[in-house]
Amino acid sequence: MNHTNMVLQKSKITSLFLSLILLISTFTPVQAMKATAATPSIKITSIFFDGTVPRVESDEYAVIKNVSTKAINLGGWRLYAGNPGQNFIFPSYVLKPGKQCRVYTNQNHPESCGFSFKITTAIWNNGGDCGMLYNSANIRVSKRCYLVE
């Protein structure tokens, strides 16, 4: 390779490098995701972890609440109860501002939105556990933990 070709090659590499830097500096989805996660509009406000139904505790539930001023469609959101297989994926459901829903372990209560994991054993650990709520972009927007001593 002669000197002129080397200079041209170096110039192309420098140009590509500068273009890449410019692209990276203007691309900010991570910052947007952090801002979304930092200001949740739906929160897990409580977890009723010690059900009264013997052994299976099907009456356990987590409460989620819309703390924003806008109605939010929960379609594709996910409530995770801490272990593999303990995911509840929300169907399309519009939760109005200030309203809340319960997600039961294995009961159906239409008066509180009618959501259920449909798991036949207790899912919330009576000694302590965490519930996590993810939006439809799979960004964690809320986490609620409890510890029983």
- Provide mean pLDDT across the span 93-120: 97
Residue 14 has pLDDT above 70, yes or no: no
- Provide mean pLDDT across the span 27-31: 38
Q: The whole model's pTM is what? A: 0.74
The pLDDT assigned to 114 comes to 96
For 134-146, write each residue's pLDDT tens digit: 999 999 999 999 9
pLDDT class of 149 with cuts at 50, 70, 90: confident
According to DSSP, residue 111 is labeled G
Of 21, 18, 96, 103, nearest to 58 by C-alpha is 103
The token duo for 70 is 């806008």
- Provide mean pLDDT across the span 28-41: 49
What average pLDDT does the structure give for the chain?
A: 82
The token duo for 90 is 């929300």
Any residues with CB less than 8 A from the CB of 44 and at least 6 apart, and which? 62, 63, 64, 79, 131, 132, 133, 142, 143, 144
Q: What number of other Cβ atoms are within 10 A of residue 53's Cβ?
A: 13
The pLDDT assigned to 2 comes to 53
For 53-81, write each residue's pLDDT tens digit: 998 999 999 999 999 999 999 999 999 99
- How remote is the C-alpha of 73 from its chain's centroid? 13
Q: Write the CA distances from 31 to 24, 36, 37, 104, 135, integer angstroms.
A: 12, 9, 10, 34, 16
